Amino acid sequence: MAEFTLDLNDDQKQVRDWIHGFAADVIRPAAAEWDEREETPWPVIQEAAKVGIYSLDFYAQQYFDPTGLGIPMAMEELFWGDAGIALSIVGTGLAAVGVLANGTEEQIGTWIPQMYGDANDVKVAAFCSSEPDAGSDVAALRTRAVYDEAKDEWVLNGTKTWATNGGIASVHVVVACVDPSLGSKGHASFIVPPATPGLSQGQKFKKHGIRASHTAEVVLEDVRVPGSCLLGGKEKLDERLARARERAANGGGERVKNAAMATFEASRPAVGAMAVGTARAAYEVALDYAKTREQFGRPIIDNQGIAFQLADMRTQIDAARLLVWRASWMAVSGKPFTAAEGSMSKLYASEVAKKVTAQAVQILGGNGFTREYPVERMHRDAAIYTIFEGTSEIQRLVIARTLSGMPIR
């Protein structure tokens, strides 16, 4: 178990500076253009692949950092550059985490490399969980997976929504219901390989923020995938379903973790780090502006009304980062989230991002409201953090139920 420390080692500092340089030199100059175009920034993703940031090896190195700080450090720096482009670069990671959390070693080795492609032919992947009537309420999920024993195939039908890279992905990871009587405990995750018949893109959403990231519906019509595409394998699924049925028959008991929850639990501190990056970027713009903008014969930072806001902004950003780092360290050290520390980090950091970016707009005044300055875009981008991968209300529910000992359904 890694000892907890707030000091990054030399290797971590070198990686941080490398990612920061890419964010400053490649991502930021392209941010406004791709926000306006509302398209996937393939050239930027390709540049990230060429230097090694968009690759399985890079994320594996950060994921297996023994301190747990590799992923949050990388997320903060990339999202400091721009949230929309950064999400296009890291969105594949959610699908990869879904495979890592639920798949066999063979599935991990087979499918995750195909999610990324290579520098000459970059690919992206999509994790498909939410549905039109099942966002926070995962038990209401309607996409069905039915096993065709004669052909050893699973047949998927349903519609997914809010899928990052949905429809344009090479590999889709789809959460589907295999036993409706068990609610969320009857879910499983499936790989849908490239060019599988029956999978199509539905509506592409035009969004308030993170507009360089592709978000769309994914429609599944009699999609057939081999039995080997069930993450974890059928034997493991049958055992889990049998335990769930037995507990249901006995009136409940120990909670059974479903596939989607396992993915989100592993990724929430990373989302918190994304929010920290956006908040920090907006704070830095506001700080520089306050030191150079003069009103009534002096820089506006000399006014307590501005200075105190900046003090609070910096304090909240640092506090959010500490919560993210704690949760990330606990996860890699195998310490249980007895107080839902992962959800705490995501909740607080996302709320801080919304607040800090709004304050940055206010400090810049009329300039902050225009697209000539980046805080307007950062403020729009920050709105997503309190919504995706579990709304702030859901995070509070998870925390409260964890503290009370109630089951998290």
- Rounded Cα distance, 98 and 342, in Å: 17
Looking at residue 63, its pLDDT comes to: 86
Question: Strand 294-295 vs strand 298-299: parallel, antiparallel, or unpaired?
Answer: antiparallel
Per-residue model confidence (pLDDT) at position 356: 98
Task: Provide the 8-state DSSP code for 2.
Answer: P
Residue-wise burial string across 92-123, b where 16 or more C-beta atoms lie within 10 A, e elsewhere = bbbbbbbbbbbbeeebeebbbbebbbeeeebb
Catalytic residue, candidates 77, 294, 389, 393:
389
**Residue pair 149/227 in contact by the 8 Å Cβ criterion:** no
- H helical segments located in 229-303: 234-249, 259-292
**Whole-angstrom Cα distance, residue 261 to residue 267?**
10
pTM above 0.85? yes
Is 48:18 a contact under the CB 8 Å cutoff? no
Q: Is 189 left (phi over 0), alpha (psi -120 to 50) or beta?
A: beta
Q: Are 59 and 93 contacting, i.e. CB atoms less than 8 angstroms apart?
A: yes
Q: Which two tokens stand for residue 136?
A: 């926070």
pLDDT at position 246: 85
3-state secondary structure of 242: helix
The one-character DSSP state at 213 is S
Are the CB atoms for 134 and 141 separated by under 8 Å?
yes
Among candidate residues 70, 69, 63, 73, the one with its CA nearest the CA of residue 93: 63
The span from the first CA to the last CA of the chain, in angstroms, equals 30
Domains and CATH numbers, the chain: 10-122 (1.10.540.10), 125-249 (2.40.110.10), 259-404 (1.20.140.10)
85 token code pair? 């482009």
- At position 66, the amino acid (one-letter code) is P
Secondary element (H or E) of residue 224? strand 215-226
For 54-64, the pLDDT digits (tens) are 998 898 899 88
Residue 239 token pair = 């055992």
Tokens read off for 401: 């139920």
| φ/ψ of residue 173, rounded to 5 | -105, 120
Task: Quote the longest CA-to-CA distance of the chain.
Answer: 82
389 counts as catalytic: yes
Integer Cα distance of 161 and 305 in angstroms: 43
Rounded to whole angstroms, the Cα distance separating 336 from 116 reads: 31
Handedness of CA 168, 143, 101, 113 (dihedral sign): negative
Residues of the chain under the 50 pLDDT cut: 253-256
User: What are the tokens at 47?
Assistant: 């540049």
Task: Report pLDDT for 24.
Answer: 98
Q: Could you give the 3-state DSSP secondary structure of residue 157?
A: strand
Bridge partner list, 191: 173
Residue recorded with tokens 């993703």? 45
Q: Which helix (H) or strand (E) holds 404?
A: helix 392-404
Q: Which helix (H) or strand (E) holds 123?
A: none
Q: Cα separation of 184 and 187, whole Å? A: 6
